[in-house]
A and B are shown apart, each in its own frame.
Chain A
Amino acid sequence: MQQRTPLYQQHLQAGAKFVEFAGWSMPLHYGSQLEEHHRVRRDAGVFDVSHMLVVDVIGARATDYLRFMLANDVARLTEYGDALYTCMLNERGGVIDDLIVYRLADVRYRLVFNAGCADKDLAWLQRQGGGFEVTITPRRDLAMLAVQGPGARMKVLNLLRSGDQDLAQGLTTFEGAEIGDWFVARTGYTGEDGFEIMLPGGEAPSLWRRLLDSGVAPAGLGARDTLRLEAGLNLYGQDMDETVTPLESGLGWTVAWAPAEREFIGRRALELQRERGIERKLVGLVLEARGVLRAGQTVRVDGQPAGVLTSGSFSPTLDAAIGLARVPASVAVGARVEVDIRGKYLPARVVKPPFVRHGQVLV
C-alpha cells in the first residue's frame, strides 16, 4: 500500500494522474505537465510536497550536532528563521542526502530531507546523535505545500491574517517564520520566488482549496522536475548520491570550509579531494539539435565517450533539450560535446547552470 498525503482527495478532485514516488502515491500532473510548468514560471503553482521528510532537531547542543553532521555550517544561521542548503555526507565525502535546514529558535532546528532517503537519513541522524543528546523528531504530522512563481507570494499573503501577513511579507530569500503552528519560508525548488508552507496535515486541504480559488494552479511532480532542472538544481539519486562528493556535483559552494577547526563528517575526504583536484564535475548541457536529453545518455568529448547525463529533459522555457552531465573536469563552459542519442551523436553546448532563473533564460 502506497502512502498518501493529507491532500490525496484534493488531487483526485483536481484530476491528478498519480505516480509512485519513494513509496508515496503522488500527483505526476493534473492534465498537462507543460501547462503546469508555464503557470509556475509566469504566475503561480502549488506543489504538494508533504512526502518530504521534515525532522525537528532540538537540544542544548543542537547547533554543535548539526555543525558536525552537515557540510554547510549552521552557525551561519544567525537569525531565527534563517535557512541554509546543505549536503549531509558520509565519511568518504559521499552525499547521503541534500536538505534545507531552518533555525527555528536558539537550539531548535528544522531539516527537510528527500522522501526517497527518509529511512536512511533518520537512521544516520540517530546513529550520530547519541553524544550530543539531541531529540530527533520526524514531523509526519505536518503537510508541506510549495507555492511557487512570480505571483505566488502575493497570492499566499492575501490568504493570511493581517498580522501574519506582515510577518510573511517581511521574509527575505531563504528566510522563514513560525506563524502559530505553521511555518512559512521563502524557499523552493523551482528557480522562482515563492513560499514553502509547513502546517498541520488536517489544515492542508483548506489551504489547498483557498490557493486554487485564488488562481494558483495545482502542479505535479512532473513540472517540479522540469522546473528544478531549468533552475539548475540537483535531484538527489540522479545528479548526486553516496558515490560522489559535493565537489563533483556542482555543490562546492555549499561546503563551509571555514572555520578550519570545525569538524564535520566527510571533511577530511573533501579536503583530500580538493588538494588533489577533482577528476569529474557536473555541468549543464543544451542540446543544439532536435531531440531530448535523458539521464544515462553518454557524453562524448573529442569523439570519445567521456561522461554521462545525470538528468535530462525537454525545457519548456527554452523550447530545447537541457540536462546535467558528469564530465571530466577539463571540459570547459562553452565547449561543444556530443551526446549519444539512440546511436546518433548530437551536438550539445556546455553551460553553467542555472538555465532559467526568475523566468529569464540565462544560457
Chain B
Amino acid sequence: MSNAPDDLRYAKSHEWARLEDDGTVTVGITDYAQAALGDLVFVETPEIGRVVSAGEACAVVESVKAASDIYAPVSGEIVDTNPDLANSPEVINSDPYGGGWIMRIRPSDPSELDQLLDADSYLELTSEQD
C-alpha cells in the first residue's frame, strides 16, 4: 500500500503538488509512482525559467527499466529544480515527498491546483490500478 500525504494535491499521471508559503508549487512523483518505476538512476530536470502548461511533459525520470515523462501539474514558470537529483536520483525512491522533490513552479493560475485530486481520490485511483 503506497502512501499519499493529505496536504498534497495529485495528478492522475502520478505527480504530487504542494503549495508553498511563498506561492510556488513544489512538484514530485508519488510513492506509488516510484514503486512502480523501480530504482531510479537518472532524472532530467527542466531549465529554470522555462514556462510550462499544465499537463506538459517537462522532466524525465529514468529507472533501470525505462524512461517516464513527468508532467507539470500546473501552468507557470519553473523557478527551481532539485540539485541533489543529479548525483542521487535514488532519493526519489527513498523520500518521494521530501528530499525527492523534482521542481518548483510559480503558477500562473493557482486555481489549477483545485483541479487536481486530493489524497483520498488519488489513493482510490491507484488502488484501482493495482
Contacts and interface: CB of A to CB of B under 8 A. Distances in A.
Interface of A: 17, 28-29, 32-35, 222, 226, 290-292, 294, 313-314, 316, 321, 342
B48 interface: no
A33 B42 contact: no
Interface in B63-120: 64-67, 86, 90
Interface of B: 38-39, 41-42, 44, 60, 62, 64-67, 86, 90
B38 A291 contact: no
A290 B38 contact: no
Given A290-B86, A292-B67, A294-B67, A33 B38 contact: yes
B5 to A, nearest CB: 23
Nearest to B42: A292
B42 A34 contact: no
A290 B42 contact: yes
A314 B67 contact: no
A251 B77 CA distance: 51
B38 A29 contact: yes
7 contacts: A28-B65, A32-B39, A33-B64, A290-B86, A314-B41, A321-B42, A342-B44
A316 B39 CA distance: 11
A313 B86 contact: no
A90 to B, nearest CB: 32
B65 to A, nearest CB: 6
Contacts of A294: 66-67
A292 B62 contact: yes
A34 B86 contact: no
Given A290-B86, A292-B67, A294-B67, A222 B60 contact: no
B64 A222 contact: yes
A213 B62 CA distance: 33
Contact of B44 (A17, A35, A291): A291
B42 A314 contact: yes
B11 to A, nearest CB: 21
A251 B2 CA distance: 45
A292 B42 CA distance: 7
A17 B41 CA distance: 19
A292 B38 contact: no
B39 A342 contact: no
B38 to A, nearest CB: 6
A285 to B, nearest CB: 16
Nearest to A321: B42
A29 B66 CA distance: 14
Q: Closest 6 interchain pairs by CB?
A: A314-B41, A34-B39, A292-B62, A292-B42, A33-B64, A33-B39
A17 B38 CA distance: 10
A28 B41 CA distance: 17
Contacts of B41: 34, 292, 314
